[in-house]
A = this chain, B = another copy of it.
Amino acid sequence: MTTLEKELSIFALGGINEIGKNMYVVQYEDDIFVIDCGSKFPDESLLGIDLIIQDISYLQDNKDNVRALIITHGHEDHIGGIPYFLKQLNLPMYATDLTLGLIEIKLKEHGLLRSAEMHLIDDSSTLSFGSVDITFFRTNHSIPDCVGIVFLTPIGAVVHTGDFKFDLTPVNNDPPDIHKMAKIGDNGVLVLLSESTNAERPGFNPSELSVGSHIEEAFRKAKRKVFISTFASNVHRVQQVVDAAQNTGRKLVLLGRSMLNVVKVASELGHLDIPEGMIIEPYEIKKMNPQNVAVLCTGSQGEPLAALSRLASANSRHTEVLPDDTVILASSPIPGNETNVSRIIDQLFRLKANVIYGTEEGMHVSGHARQEELKLMLTLMKPKYFIPIHGEYRMLHKHRELAQSVGVEQENIFIINNGDVVDFDGATARQTRSVKAGRVFVDGLGVGDVGNAVLRDRRLLSEEGMLVILITVNKENGQLLSEPDTISRGFMYKPDAKELIDEVNETAKAAVGNVKGTSGNDATAMRQHIKKAVETLLYERTKRRPMILVYVIEI
């Protein structure tokens, strides 16, 4: 166990740049609170990795002091790591009802539902842990039921915004609780942690309500079936799709596992209001007039296995996109997904659909506060210290500039990396230490068993392929007992490679002869000698460096 030097500390264990996803920690003396536990999908450079989660060594090392896992909202980058986390550290969890509902789906898949300890909160809850009280405030985001968190410690209040925007006319008539935020600010905030995703974007987001009218207009104009794709978790947008269908005389088909899951949970909890008989099954489409059908599906980010991608490649077993159907992408591609999304749009145009995409169409607004909203939060909270969170460095940097512009002192702003700690002792704040942090890879059932060495091998294999060379020699005198046997995978087209493989075998054979003369029948030396000779040959002939494995079998 680490002993604490300071009274209050804030840790980033995820949420910055490429490492894991969101997880911040607030520690007051011996009470440790974890905020959010997200996961991240790997980019293509992380070959074969399924998911990235956080290294929680610090929490494991101090597990007797960790009191709670508090979740701000139900997005993957805030809840996706929970099953892996609970297997290592089974903490009591606190979240609002929709968030808990989405977490439950995950826990069920991992067989953890029974062992998990879940506590329902809402924005009026107060939790007490020793000398720390925890309260919440309602925010808006692209999923309902979001909260910001206030940790009331003896030396001051720590506020964590979660993800937020200020939508003053939200679809569910539950605007962000600005009055409560103002009160929190009036009572004094020692340190604010505020999200930075859109810190580079000027202005103030339009209301989600504006998307609804665009959707309804498109539904009305559509001559035949309408397909609309959006994030399943954007329940307010789903509601607006339901309303548009209702107002234009269309029945609604849901496609995609997460869409079905979220709609079920959100309806049960009263976050979605779907008229009786509105939802129909995919097989019923055929019987309907196309003008009376709308299909709401997943895959707006171009995910290759999701519903929209299957529809675009005419590969869905449920229904098909026909000429003059309308397809709406109610989304904006997350950086890295542009190519996949573009490919789907192309395919849909080839199917002669009327495709509506791109932000100018008004079919999407962001869920993250832009510059004027970030300044509003900073102004409401009036923090002494400020830590911009959730973002890449340039966003944190811009958020720092915004904080300065509304009066936070430059020396009171801390841009921290994952693992960095800011310590507060009532009078001062210092960022001088850090703890172990980093990303842990999930590959299939394995957690953490694929690291950089394995990825290096995978990269080498992926770029140049490999050759396995088998040599059988006499144990006594190192003499070759049969011709070398070489096979390749991922190296070059087999018929083209035949001649070269013959040369490889010749080279290996010659190398055996050479070694025999110099260092006797040492198998290791022979292996290295052969490998080197073949490497040189292949690079000369092809300018490629495949992985080469040499087996020397001594009989």
Contact = CB atoms under 8 A, between A and B. Distances in A.
Nearest to A481: B555
A450 interface: yes
A339 interface: yes
Interface residue range, chain A: 35 or more
Contacts of A472: 553
A444 interface: yes
Contacts of A496: 446, 449
B457 A489 contact: yes
A370 to B, nearest CB: 13
B464 A48 contact: yes
A466 B467 CA distance: 12
A516 interface: no
Interface in A415-451: 443-446, 448-451
A2 B450 CA distance: 55
A491 interface: yes
A551 interface: yes
A490 B458 contact: yes
A547 B547 CA distance: 14
Contacts of A347: 393
A547 B450 CA distance: 16
Q: Is the interface of A mostly helix, strand, loop or mixed?
A: mixed
Nearest to A344: B394
Given A461-B490, A463-B48, A444 B544 contact: yes
A346 interface: yes
A453 interface: yes
A344 to B, nearest CB: 10
A374 interface: no
Contacts of A555: 555
A392 B338 CA distance: 13
Interface in A334-353: 335-336, 338-339, 342, 345-347, 349-350
A465 interface: yes
Nearest to A489: B457
Interface stretch (A39-47, A166-174, A377-385): A39-47
A454 B450 CA distance: 24
B465 A458 contact: yes
Contacts of A465: 48, 454, 457-458, 461
Given A466-B466, A543-B445, A551-B551, A335 B346 contact: no
Contacts of A464: 48
A345 B444 contact: no
A48 B544 CA distance: 9
Nearest to A348: B394
Given A47-B462, A555-B555, A349 B394 contact: yes
A45 B304 CA distance: 13
Contacts of A443: 492, 542, 544
Given A335-B338, A393-B346, A489 B547 contact: yes
B451 A461 contact: no
A151 B549 CA distance: 57
A47 B542 contact: no
Contacts of A553: 470, 472, 553
Interface string A227-248: 0000000000000000000000
A491 B454 contact: yes
Contacts of A47: 462-463, 490
A223 interface: no
B339 A454 contact: no
Contacts of A48: 462-465, 490, 544
Nearest to A457: B490
A394 B346 contact: yes
Interface string A392-418: 111001000000000000000000000
Nearest to A470: B551
A178 interface: no
A487 interface: yes
A292 interface: no
A497 interface: yes
A485 B470 CA distance: 13
A468 interface: yes
A279 interface: no
A541 interface: yes
A526 to B, nearest CB: 16
Interface string A241-261: 000000000000000000000
14 contacts: A342-B394, A451-B493, A455-B490, A457-B489, A457-B490, A461-B462, A461-B465, A462-B462, A466-B466, A468-B549, A470-B551, A489-B547, A489-B549, A555-B555
Given A342-B394, A466-B489, 8 more contacts: A43-B339, A48-B465, A347-B393, A349-B393, A449-B492, A451-B493, A454-B491, A461-B465
Interface of A: 17, 43-45, 47-48, 200, 335-336, 338-339, 342, 345-347, 349-350, 355, 358, 392-394, 397, 443-446, 448-451, 453-455, 457-466, 468, 470, 472, 485, 487, 489-494, 496-497, 541-544, 547, 549, 551, 553, 555
